[in-house]
Every structure is written in C-alpha cells, then in structure tokens.
Amino acid sequence: MKLTPRLKEILPDDRVSTQPDQLEAVSKDESTLPPVIPKAVVWCIDRNEIVEVVRLCCNTGIPITTRGAGSALEGSTIPHAGGIVLDLSRMTRIVDFWPEDLQVEVEPGIIYDHLNDHLKNEGLFFPPSPGGSGDIATVGGMVSTNASGIYSVKYGGTREYILALEIVTGTGEIVKLGNRAVKRSSGYNLVELICGSEGTLGIITSITLKLAGIPEDRLKTAYKFPDEKAAAQAVSEMRRYGLDIAAIEFLDRRLMTALNKLKEYGLEEVPALFLEFHGPGAVLDSNSELAGDICTEHGASPLRLAEGQNPWEVRHWATDAVKHFKPGYTILRNDVAFPISSLPEMVEYCHHLGDENGITMFTFGHVGLGLLHALMLARPDNADEWRTAQEINRKIIEKTLSLGGTISGEHGIGLGHKDQFMREHGPAVDLMRRIKRQFDPKGILNPGKIFD
Ligand SMILES: Cc1cc2nc3c(=O)[nH]c(=O)nc-3n(C[C@H](O)[C@H](O)[C@H](O)COP(=O)(O)OP(=O)(O)OC[C@H]3O[C@@H](n4cnc5c(N)ncnc54)[C@H](O)[C@@H]3O)c2cc1C
C-alpha cells in the first residue's frame, strides 16, 4: 500500500510530509536515545481527522506515535520504524472555560505556559509547572506522562487536575471519559488510566481540567547547606512538620557549578534549597519562619542570589546546564521517587556511587515529593565508563525499589526504563498488556513503549 497518497486523501497535502528534514525533526525527543525516522508525519487539527488517520492505520497495521512538543525525556515520543508520527501541536484551542467552576476544556496541543497566560486574566492557573519545560510542553503530553513540577508539592501533579478526557482508541472509536463533577464514585476511573499511558491506549483529543486560584501572595527564599545530606534531611523534616510549602527544589553543589558555567549566574557553589510559599501574608510568614528554623538546625544559612535573580529562572536551566557541562559526554538519567523519609539516604547513596566510581553525578528535583533526578555524565564510546554509569543507574533503581519507590516519578517509562518496568510491577504488567488490547487490539498505538 502506498501510505502517503492514502494519508493525503484524509488530510490536505501540506499536512502530510515525508520530507527528510521534517521526518528528522520528529524522529526524537529530549532523551539521549537514538532517533528513529518514521515513514511520514501528519498534522491533524480535529478529532474527525484523527479518527480517519487511526482507521487507516488500524486497517493497515501501521504504528502511530502521537506527538505534542517532543520534550519527553525517556524516548516515549520516539516513533516506531515503519510508523507515522501524529503531531497534535496545532490543536491549541481553548474549547470552553468556566471560571466560576475553576474549570477549562482545552485541545491537547496547547502549551502549558500559554494556557496559564490565558487563565491568569481570571485569577486562575493550572499548577503543575514542569521545571524546565513549561514553555514548550503541551497539556496533552503532560497528561500522557502525568507530568509534575515545582508546585506539585502543594498542588499535586497533572493527574490531580484532570476531570474529563476525550480519546480516540486504536480502532478509531471516540470515547468520552469522566465529566465535570469534582467528586465522583461512579465506576472505573478510566481518566486516571489514560493519564501516564504515554500514548499507548488512546489519542487524547480534549482535556477538561480543574484549576486553582492564583495565590494572594508568594514568598521565595533560598538556603545553602554544608552538604547534600543536610539539605535532604531538612526537606524530610519540613514535610514531617506538615509545613504548607508550594515548592521545595533541591540543587546539589555540582549543579550550581554547572549553572554558573552555562549562564554565569555567580551562584555560590553549595548544595541549596529553593523554597516558595503561597497564601495570605501572615500564613506565609509563619510557614517560612518555621522552614527557616528547620534549615538552620541542619546547618543552613540564607543563600545569596543576585539582586532581582529569580530562583525559578535559575532552576529552569538545570537540565541544560548538565547537558553542556562536559562536551562529548552523554547524560544517563533516572527519575526515581520514594517515601520522603528516604530522601537523605538516597541523596547520599547517589553521591557515594558517583564519587566512588569517578562518575560525574548531579542530583536535583522536586524533592518535597520524594522525587529525585540523578543525572550522570559518561562517554558512550568509553565502554568501561559507560558500563559503570549504567551499573550505577541500576543500583539507584534497585535501592529505590527496595525502599518502596518507583522508577519514574514524572518522566514516564518510554524506552529508557522499559527494561526495569517488570521489576517494579511484576505480574501486573501482564494485566496491563491485556488492558492495552481492549483499547488497541491491533497494537498500533505507540507500540514498544512502557512494555513489550
Ligand atoms: C528541560 C526539560 C525539563 C523538564 N522538566 C520536567 C518537569 O519538571 N516535570 C516533568 O514532569 N517533566 C519534565 N520534562 C519532561 C517533559 O517536558 C514532560 O514529560 C512533558 O509532559 C512532555 O510534554 P510534550 O508535549 O513534550 O509531550 P511529548 O514529548 O510530545 O509526548 C510525551 C508522551 O505523550 C504522548 N502524547 C503526547 N500527546 C498526546 C496526546 N494528545 N494523546 C496521547 N498521547 C500523547 C506521546 O506519544 C509520548 O508518549 C522536562 C523536559 C525537559 C526537556
């Protein structure tokens, strides 16, 4: 079958491409995994077009990888060889808005920051705030990976905000899931099942979100610590006290060095916590004072930031700073999450493994959620070094699982962590395979991602 002419029967010529530069652009995501060139890329702008494309692919067994912005970090957006990329970045409309109910319905391609720009006129926002990608990530991509971010400590991740979804299944059926009721006990929660499914169960064509009110006031503070473990202990204690904190970001000393190198921020090169508090003035003051006392008890003192320097602008560049720290080196990453009391032990463990094996290790993340990114730099063409870094990664994951944690706190499984998925979920993976068959009997939706 000649695929391109068939696709052009469904879509205008300028929304079907086999041009090498356009195929190359959608052959990868932001992971360091190898790209795969698809057969074609198509841009759909409504559900009916998506249904037609899916029916064609279902009848001909052609894999579809749906794409938002392609900012995923675990290869979940890398296409299948012989498949097509379904790019939804042009579906950016706000379909409906109910400010009085704190709800909005959007198309999947709308960018996170653009949505919030619109919502702020009504004093509302969609909180998750992915640390370094809010300016590119689409809401469809965030739903599909259950993204979280700097404000998830207080407000939760994407999953907590989805009220309803419209999806197109792997046979081209349109199904509406959920509704606008904020509390319900009405059968199976298929909305939550789709969230985090990385495009393997359905193509999301509309999303109804719950929103939060923009806080009356904000207070940002930053502390420096004598070592990484002390910072982690302070975080664990702040959480135990039940302090109302909107954001707790941890940056280790090496990351501060990398940020200076990339952006010449002039930061002190010490382990740091960036904190933000939301609420009316008196609440802010009491929470930030108590947080300050806890940090001080762990040897911290206030971190000097340059006049007018926004900690979140600094934090935004964390991933890029690591990427550019050592030219010729590749990032090996993980995205583990575990019960909060294990944070000090995990931070110390990661640094110990890096130091002991001579591998450059960076740790940072939305640690108030018990979520830690440990990024290593190694050269793929240096077999020993690469193997060592992979072995460290394996040990970090093993330790996480032994502590009751997960191999992915927010980036998803994609291709990057597929080999460890079974270790976390065991026989439940087979149940997941059976669930996938109900949504996608021909196995055309992003096959080979999460599990085989
Ligand atoms: C610098 C940087 C910082 C980051 N920081 C964070 C962070 O703090 N927190 C965080 O959680 N993530 C972070 N990420 C990862 C990434 O931005 C998120 O995973 C984001 O949610 C992906 O959105 P996207 O539009 O780029 O999705 P894509 O990469 O296009 O897609 C991601 C997955 O969703 C599927 N998908 C996309 N749209 C749909 C749809 N409409 N229907 C069905 N499936 C779909 C894709 O097939 C793929 O499996 C970061 C990435 C970078 C590069």
Give the model's pLDDT for residue 372: 96
CA atoms of 300 and 303, how far apart (whole Å): 9
Cβ-contact 81, 23 below 8 angstroms? no
Question: Do residue 102 and residue 156 come from a single domain?
Answer: yes
* Residue closest by Cα to atom 10 of ligand 1: 147
Question: Do residue 188 and residue 265 come from a single domain?
Answer: no
Q: Which atom of ligand 1 is nearest to the CA of 132?
A: 3
Helical ranges in 156-241 per DSSP H: 190-194, 228-240
Cβ-contact 102, 124 below 8 angstroms? yes
CATH of the domain at 206: 3.30.465.10
Examine residue 19 and state whether it is found in any structural domain, yes or no.
yes
| DSSP-assigned letters across all residues of 399-430 | HHHHTT-BSBSSS--TTTTHHHHHHHHTTHHH
Domain boundary among the residues 23, 54, 87 is at: 87
Give the model's pLDDT for residue 307: 84
The label of the residue with tokens 């018990």 reads 370
Confidence of residue 421 (pLDDT cuts 50, 70, 90): very high
Confidence of residue 132 (pLDDT cuts 50, 70, 90): confident
Please report how the helices 418-425 and 428-439 are oriented relative to each other, as an axis angle in degrees rounded to 10.
120
Mode of pairing for the β-strands spanning 84-87 and 40-43: parallel
Question: Do residue 178 and residue 242 come from a single domain?
Answer: no
Is pLDDT above 90 for 265?
yes
Examine residue 428 and state whether it is found in any structural domain, yes or no.
no
For the CA atoms of 421, 424, 427, 431, the dihedral, rounded to the nearest 10 degrees, stands at -60
Report pTM. Answer: 0.96
CA atoms of 82 and 15, how far apart (whole Å): 19
Question: Do residue 172 and residue 251 come from a single domain?
Answer: no
Examine residue 440 and state whether it is found in any structural domain, yes or no.
no
Question: Do residue 23 and residue 73 come from a single domain?
Answer: yes
Confidence of residue 308 (pLDDT cuts 50, 70, 90): confident
Percent helix, strand, coil in the chain, to 5, is 40, 20, 40
| DSSP-assigned letters across all residues of 26-76 | TS--SSSSPP---SEEEE--SHHHHHHHHHHHHHHT--EEEESS---SSST
Helical ranges in 46-166 per DSSP H: 47-60, 112-119, 139-145, 152-155
Non-local (6+) Cβ contacts of 336 within 8 A are 346, 371, 372, 374, 396, 397, 400, 405, 406, 407, 408, 409
Confidence of residue 385 (pLDDT cuts 50, 70, 90): very high
Non-local (6+) Cβ contacts of 309 within 8 A are 265
Q: What's the average model confidence in pLDDT over 283-287?
A: 91
Domain boundary among the residues 180, 213, 246 is at: 213
Examine residue 441 and state whether it is found in any structural domain, yes or no.
no
Question: Do residue 101 and residue 197 come from a single domain?
Answer: yes
Is pLDDT above 80 for 87?
yes
pLDDT, tens digit, for every residue of 12-56?
999 999 999 999 999 999 999 999 999 999 999 999 999 999 999
Question: Do residue 349 and residue 389 come from a single domain?
Answer: yes
- By the 10 Å C-beta count (0-12 exposed, 13-18 middle, 19+ buried), 370 is classed as buried
CA atoms of 28 and 47, how far apart (whole Å): 25
Q: How far is the CA of 21 from the centre of ligand 1 (A)?
A: 22
DSSP 226: S
CATH of the domain at 66: 3.30.43.10
Please state, for a pLDDT cut of 90, what percent of the chain lies above it. 96
* Residue closest by Cα to atom 7 of ligand 1: 130
Examine residue 233 and state whether it is found in any structural domain, yes or no.
yes
Q: How far is the CA of 412 from the centre of ligand 1 (A)?
A: 9
- Its sign, for the CA torsion 201, 207, 208, 209, is positive
Examine residue 420 and state whether it is found in any structural domain, yes or no.
no
Cβ-contact 137, 88 below 8 angstroms? no
| DSSP-assigned letters across all residues of 289-310 | HHHHHHHHHTT-EEPP--TT--
Question: Do residue 231 and residue 139 come from a single domain?
Answer: no
Please state, for a pLDDT cut of 70, what percent of the chain lies above it. 100
Q: What's the average model confidence in pLDDT over 267-288?
A: 94
Please report how the helices 343-357 and 228-240 are oriented relative to each other, as an axis angle in degrees rounded to 10.
160
Q: What's the average model confidence in pLDDT over 258-286?
A: 94
pLDDT, tens digit, for every residue of 393-413?
999 999 999 999 999 999 999
What does the angle CA 64 – CA 323 – CA 389 come to, to the nearest 5 degrees? 85
pLDDT, tens digit, for every residue of 147-198?
999 999 999 999 999 999 999 999 999 999 999 999 999 999 999 999 999 9
Which residues line ligand 1 at a C-beta cut-off of 6 Å?
Answer: 29-30, 65-73, 76-77, 88, 108, 130-133, 137-138, 140-142, 144-145, 147-149, 198-199, 203-204, 319, 410-411, 446
Cβ-contact 248, 153 below 8 angstroms? yes
**H or E, element range at 222:** strand 218-224
Is pLDDT above 90 for 281?
no
Cβ-contact 421, 407 below 8 angstroms? yes
Give the model's pLDDT for residue 22: 98
Examine residue 451 and state whether it is found in any structural domain, yes or no.
no
Q: How far is the CA of 142 from the centre of ligand 1 (A)?
A: 5
Lowest mean pLDDT among 76-90, 103-117, 302-316, 421-435: 302-316
Domain boundary among the residues 18, 53, 87 is at: 87
Domain residues for the domain of 46 are: 3-87
Q: Which atom of ligand 1 is nearest to the CA of 410?
A: 11
* Residue closest by Cα to atom 6 of ligand 1: 130
Q: How far is the CA of 203 from the centre of ligand 1 (A)?
A: 14
Q: Which atom of ligand 1 is nearest to the CA of 143?
A: 21
Examine residue 315 and state whether it is found in any structural domain, yes or no.
yes
In the chain, the amino acid numbered 429 is: V
CA atoms of 290 and 296, how far apart (whole Å): 10
Q: How far is the CA of 280 from the centre of ligand 1 (A)?
A: 33
Question: Do residue 207 and residue 252 come from a single domain?
Answer: no
Q: How many domains does the chain have?
A: 3
Is pLDDT above 90 for 282?
no
Confidence of residue 131 (pLDDT cuts 50, 70, 90): confident
Question: Do residue 258 and residue 393 come from a single domain?
Answer: yes
| Best of 36, 42, 77 for a ligand 1 pocket test (most atoms within 8 Å of beta carbon) | 77
Output the furthest CA–CA distance in the chain (Å, rounded).
69
Is pLDDT above 80 for 1?
no
Question: Do residue 169 and residue 114 come from a single domain?
Answer: yes
Q: How far is the CA of 145 from the centre of ligand 1 (A)?
A: 6
Is pLDDT above 80 for 225?
yes
CATH of the domain at 265: 3.40.462.10
Question: Do residue 242 and residue 388 come from a single domain?
Answer: yes
